[in-house]
Structure 1
Amino acid sequence: MVHYGHSNQLRQAKAMGDYLVVGVHTDEEIAKHKGPPVFTQAERYKMIRATKWVDEIVEGAPYVTTLETLDKYNCDFCVHGDDITLTVDGKDTYDEVKRMGRYRECKRTQGVSTTDLVGRMLLLTKSHNSNVVSRLYSSHTDNFGKGPKGHSPWTGVSQFLQTSQKIIQFASGKEPQPEDTIIYVAGAFDLFHIGHVDFLETVHKQAEKPYVIVGLHFDQEVNRYKGKNYPIMNIHERTLSVLACRYVSEVVIGAPYTVGKDLLDHFKVDLVCHGKTEVFPDTDGTDPYTEPRKRGIFRVLDSSNNLTTDDIVQRIIENRLQFEARNQKKEAKEMAVIEALKHKEDSLKTEAALVNN
């Protein structure tokens, strides 16, 4: 997958240098070393290109990073998160560059991983996790608005904790200029994927100098019109996912569902766009785009990409057994490495104690 954890890694990597080259593996390489990929290589190439800290991508980059690869693309060093990456036979994929001092590490984003997101999607097939209303008022809920252990009652299992600092790091911080065309779009943007990227790119092309504002609905609102166990990502996760996209200038966190007069006037909106997906009525049955239609600033766009969040979830469900096996295998492999490192550390401590004695 490509998620905000990856975007945060790319942001940190870019801060370490001047020009960021991102190597993206093929489907074949990922299937060999990690299990089936969720997004295709073509989707991943385009999504990484759309991440605002990326200067260049290398398609089909080798799974094991070598000095030869770094030199080929004129890179001084490579960057990876502080999590473990192993080949199919359990070897560190960055062993060579680490030994030669051409490796840097950045902090992994706590509370999210591909394994975690796949697990969340698999929960969509569990009956105990589908009835949001009963979970809200059940005895297992700490209080209204929080699920077990403080998790969102709508996303159920998210462990991501948002901070103002993280939003500042992801946001561009640029104010709209007088010559800019203010374009507003709204939605869930759940499990941010290539369908969203293609739509936002199409929105961005609607003006010579676009300033694209994305209104993100709260989890409760998304669940109202999407149902099931949606959204899979909570409002904070969706905020970072959208902010990482180079076609977006600003995000409204918890935007009102109806795009009314106050919102349009406050942001001085010139154009309101929506994709070809269905427009659900507001709670009172009214069209949420009545005001922009009346002003003649509403535009339906066709990005020629019909991929939806439902489609992504369906990919996971269709390959459920493979993904469950992938998650278990990855966890077992990582635990084995952690145990080996712990054993090595304990041995060094024992040796040091013997020397001191």
Structure 2
Amino acid sequence: MALTAVCPEYSPLNIIINIKKNKKKKKKPIRVYMDGCFDMMHYGHCNALRQARALGDQLIVGVVSDAEIIANKGPPVTPLHEREITWKRKANRQQVSFPFGFVMTTRLRTVTCTVMLMVSAVKWVDEVIPDAPYAITEEFMKKLFDEYNIDYIIHGDDPCILPDGTDAYALAKKAGRYKQIKRTEGVSSTDIVGRMLLCVRERTSSESPSHASLQRQFSHGHNQKHDDGVSGSGTRVSHFLPTSRRIVQFSNGQAAGPDARIVYIDGAFDLFHAGHVEILRLARGLGDFLLVGIHTDQTVTANRGVHRPIMNLHERSLSVLACRYVDEVIIGAPWEISKDMITTFNISLVVHGTVAEDDDFEKDDRDPYAVPKSMGIFKVLESPLDITTSTIIKRIVSNHEAYQKRNERKGESERRYYEGKSYISGD
């Protein structure tokens, strides 16, 4: 007996009708929320956002205000005005388009839009909520559920304890709307500040280690002890162990087409900041595919001094890969761009920003951009922001006592985490 005789609903006609009905029924997207200070954005933040996005269909990120950061953690390394940007656009046919895919409908002639630049630039982020509270209060949780249609609140497996000793996510856990991801070990804002503070201690020490012993101890996870038995960073520096899987997770996995206009930009991209994001955005707008060259630790040290870079090659590469404007990176790019390299990667245009720590390259006898200049494919871009890695380091150096106290507080919580940690599945 035919199946349709027993079950008429399985007839070819009904199957086609049901398929069409199912297509019309749009599945409600699962919206997940993660918040944080995202001060001095690094690849650990990006990996947390990637994991959170994997738990839902849309990721909404809350960015804590400077006032809340100061009250709960201490002074931020990169103040909010360095992590946000304001754009002005003229309205055209009542619709205004902004970077990051934002489109606004308005009757105004000119529209202003302020965006949390660093978080919005991460490829896994869909929406951003500014001025989020440090702790999930009853009122804010209701707002998340009712106004933002949040299904779950996400946080890492490292405890987030408030000054009064309570869990910042206790209410979300009690409501059964909490999910946990695995912390990215080997990096934290506290750790990075510690690496910079270590530079201060070494520069002022009467028995400073030799030039050779200083090279790359930060990036290799070594934390030197001083006579007082206290580490220079005020925190435990964990080893960062790069894996091929992590690189694949961060990569777009797509190659440029044969006719694509490939734009190339290179640099150290140390302490990845808003200035980097904006120059990458401009570079990406000049072509179809953005290829970014990340210089080796040795190259950066040779050009910027023994204490640089603060982040090692793999750490810097992951931060750049997480940026939504970047299509591919060269891990360990050469200082000088050769004709062979341009041919190998089919590069159409080489660009460089006006604000850079190696902006005196034109005065050098060995101009790294001599070849693309001779080929007529070199362009200098006006950098939208004047922030540099040195800006951040100088801030730490000039206020090292305040940041040292901050690190001592945060370092203790990190020490407890590492001592009491157990295996957590996830990536």
In the superposition, the TM-score normalised over structure 2's length comes to 0.71
Which residue of structure 1 aligns with residue 76 of structure 2?
37
Matches within 5 A, 1:121-160: 121-125=196-200, 126-127=202-203, 133-135=211-213, 151=221, 159-160=239-240
Deviation at 1:288, TM superposition (A): 0.7
Deviation at 1:330, TM superposition (A): 2.3
Deviation at 1:294, TM superposition (A): 0.7
**How many angstroms apart in 2 are the aligned matches of 1:130 and 1:294?**
45
**How many angstroms apart in 2 are the aligned matches of 1:36 and 1:281?**
35
Which residue of structure 2 aligns with residue 211 of structure 1?
289
Task: Give the direction of change, closer, same or farther, for the CA distance of 1:268–1:302 in structure 2 (3 Å limit).
Answer: same
Which residue of structure 2 aligns with residue 115 of structure 1?
190
Which residue of structure 2 aligns with residue 222 of structure 1?
300
Which residue of structure 2 aligns with residue 70 of structure 1?
144
**How many angstroms apart in 2 are the aligned matches of 1:269 and 1:325?**
48
Deviation at 1:150, TM superposition (A): 5.6
Which residue of structure 2 aligns with residue 99 of structure 1?
174
Task: Give the direction of change, closer, same or farther, for the CA distance of 1:333–1:182 in structure 2 (3 Å limit).
Answer: closer
Which residue of structure 1 aligns with residue 424 of structure 2?
none
**How many angstroms apart in 2 are the aligned matches of 1:323 and 1:221?**
29
Deviation at 1:253, TM superposition (A): 0.5
Q: Secondary structure of the equivalent of 1:202?
A: helix
Code of the residue aligned with 2:341 in structure 1: it is: L
Count of aligned pairs between the two proteins? 328
Task: Give the direction of change, closer, same or farther, for the CA distance of 1:55–1:269 in structure 2 (3 Å limit).
Answer: same
**How many angstroms apart in 2 are the aligned matches of 1:48 and 1:12?**
15
Deviation at 1:306, TM superposition (A): 1.2
Which residue of structure 1 aligns with residue 273 of structure 2?
193
Which residue of structure 2 aligns with residue 140 of structure 1?
none
Deviation at 1:59, TM superposition (A): 0.5
**How many angstroms apart in 2 are the aligned matches of 1:322 and 1:56?**
33
Which residue of structure 1 aligns with residue 349 of structure 2?
271
| Structure number having the greater helix percentage | 1
What are the Cα deviations for residues 234-289 of structure 1, in whole angstroms up to 9, with x where unaligned? 0010010000000100000111110111110001000000011334559x941111
Code of the residue aligned with 2:187 in structure 1: it is: V
Which residue of structure 1 aligns with residue 125 of structure 2?
54
**How many angstroms apart in 2 are the aligned matches of 1:292 and 1:152?**
39
Which residue of structure 2 aligns with residue 174 of structure 1?
254
Larger radius of gyration: 2
CA contact (8 A) 2:153 2:179 kept: yes
**How many angstroms apart in 2 are the aligned matches of 1:318 and 1:176?**
44
Matches within 5 A, 1:284-295: 285-295=365-375
CA contact (8 A) 1:25 1:41 kept: no
* Sequence identity (%): 47
Select 2:58's aligned residue among 4, 14, 19.
19
Which residue of structure 1 aligns with residue 381 of structure 2?
301
**How many angstroms apart in 1 are the aligned matches of 2:375 and 2:222?**
37
When the two chains are superposed, the root-mean-square deviation of aligned CA atoms in Å is: 2.8
**How many angstroms apart in 1 are the aligned matches of 2:211 and 2:136?**
48
Which residue of structure 2 aligns with residue 348 of structure 1?
none
Q: Secondary structure of the equivalent of 2:132?
A: coil
Matches within 5 A, 1:234-273: 234-273=312-351
Q: Secondary structure of the equivalent of 2:298?
A: helix
Which residue of structure 2 aligns with residue 5 of structure 1?
44
Deviation at 1:318, TM superposition (A): 2.1
**How many angstroms apart in 2 are the aligned matches of 1:192 and 1:81?**
22
Code of the residue aligned with 1:26 in structure 2: it is: S
CA contact (8 A) 2:68 2:134 kept: yes
Code of the residue aligned with 2:177 in structure 1: it is: R
In the superposition, the TM-score normalised over structure 1's length comes to 0.85
Code of the residue aligned with 2:319 in structure 1: it is: S
Unaligned runs of 5+ in 1: 137-144, 343-357
**How many angstroms apart in 1 are the aligned matches of 2:388 and 2:251?**
25
Task: Give the direction of change, closer, same or farther, for the CA distance of 1:112–1:132 in structure 2 (3 Å limit).
Answer: farther
What are the Cα deviations for residues 305-334 of structure 1, in whole angstroms up to 9, with x where unaligned? 111100011111222111111111223456
Unaligned runs of 5+ in 2: 1-39, 84-115, 224-232, 422-427
Deviation at 1:79, TM superposition (A): 0.8
Code of the residue aligned with 1:160 in structure 2: it is: F
Structure 1 residue 90 corresponds to structure 2 residue 168: no
